[in-house]
Amino acid sequence: MISELFTTAVLIGILTSGIRLATPYLFASIGEMFGQRSGIYNLGVEGIMLMGAFAAFYVTMTYGNPWLGLLAAIIVGSIMGLAMSFISVTLQAEQGISGIGIYLFGLGMSDLLFQKMLGTVETVSGFRPVSDSLNRIFPDLLPGLAGIPVIGAIVSILAQQNIMVFMAYLLVPIAWFIMYRTTLGLKIRAAGENPAAADALGVSISRTRYATVTFGGAMAGVAGASLSIALLNVFQQNMTSGLGFIAVALVYFGGWRPYGVLFGAILFSMVNAIQLWIQALNIPIPGDASELLIMMPYVLTIIVLIFSAGRMRKPSALGVPYERGG
């Protein structure tokens, strides 16, 4: 029965799942948000994620250190982001198509590298839950906290997650700070709102956009790494399976604001977690249509937006190449 969903254990489970599922979206969406705020939208996130996921997996496997893997994902993601910048900023190409090209290239290339360098699906020991290292350093901490009501439950949810999950959530306030409390953030927003005026004030539009899109690429790479060396510890062809496109959609959902993106990512992931739980608890579905449940997060995202999107305004120059003196 549906009431089974509302037990403490299940609610904690939904929360834990939701937090985990949102992790790759946060990295990718926040990165993409920077690019869009400066005027460039990149539909190639999915492809960059795949390349990042593979790079992180391969390096972690070879050197046994997930931090090196993460670094590799950042480097590969940045290179892909740089390529996207070159095409969309310098060559002023249509951004949507460039992104699709980047996506297809990443999809194929990551698969090709996977087949040539690994050859078969393998597992890797990536980032472990933080409880592992906490227990090593402070053996009494977690068992001690577990006894306290509420806090104990929260701590146990958090301790099950790995370090990349925390990094993802930490990224949100950092992004907010950069965007609204630094000169850099001002430049980025100016480049996306009124590039000509910003240019006149001495902001280099192309340099700003290069920076944001490259950063977005790096974050997409990290998002991929969060799958391949933290959450799943495995690499497979097309393992992102459309996740990168959802990440782009979440930027629109969040109204180009970090906390909006956070809200979107969590909402989407929680609903997804709920549908998984409904199935796992064997709660009957009308017409035996599991598909109805699977659609839920997608339908709900649209519905929520219908009621909230009125206030949103996209960056005026989003998608418009900037040419000096044009």
Q: Which stretch binds another protein (CB under 8 A): 18-26, 133-141, 171-179, 186-194?
A: 18-26
Q: Least distance from C-beta 141 to another protein, angstroms?
A: 21
Alpha helices in 163-289 (DSSP H): 163-181, 183-193, 195-200, 205-225, 243-253, 258-280
CB of 178 or CB of 276, closer to another protein: 276
CB of 40 or CB of 188, closer to another protein: 40
Q: Which stretch binds another protein (CB under 8 A): 134-142, 147-155, 177-185, 280-288?
A: 280-288
How far apart are alpha carbons 25 and 2 in whole angstroms? 28
Q: Least distance from C-beta 208 to another protein, angstroms?
A: 16
Q: Which stretch binds another protein (CB under 8 A): 148-156, 171-179, 181-189, 286-294?
A: 286-294
Q: Least distance from C-beta 113 to another protein, angstroms?
A: 6
CB of 92 or CB of 135, closer to another protein: 92
CB of 178 or CB of 300, closer to another protein: 300
How far apart are alpha carbons 270 and 254 in whole angstroms? 16
Could you tell me the CA-to-CA distances from 196 to 313, 315, 321 in Å, in that order? 19, 14, 11
Q: Give CA 301 to chain center in angstroms.
A: 16
CB of 122 or CB of 174, closer to another protein: 122
CB of 96 or CB of 152, closer to another protein: 96
Backbone dihedral region for residue 255 (phi beyond 0: left; psi -120 to 50: alpha; all else: beta): left
Site residues for another protein, window 30-59 (CB under 8 A)?
41, 43, 47
Q: Least distance from C-beta 183 to another protein, angstroms?
A: 26
Q: How many positions of this chain bind another protein (CB under 8 A)?
A: 99
| Nearest partner of 60 among 244, 215, 227, 219, judged by Cα | 227
How far apart are alpha carbons 39 and 142 in whole angstroms? 46
How far apart are alpha carbons 326 and 320 in whole angstroms? 12
How far apart are alpha carbons 92 and 130 in whole angstroms? 44
User: Out of 34, 253, 260, 271, which residue is the one contacting another protein (CB under 8 A)?
Assistant: 253
Listed in sequence order, the residues at least 6 apart from 23 whose beta carbon sits closer than 8 Å to its beta carbon are 164, 165, 168, 223, 226, 230, 231
**Are 58 and 117 a contacting pair, CB within 8 Å?**
yes
Site residues for another protein, window 82-141 (CB under 8 A)?
82-83, 86-87, 90-98, 100-109, 111-117, 119-123
Site residues for another protein, window 211-250 (CB under 8 A)?
227, 231-234, 236-243, 245-246, 248-250
CB of 174 or CB of 309, closer to another protein: 309
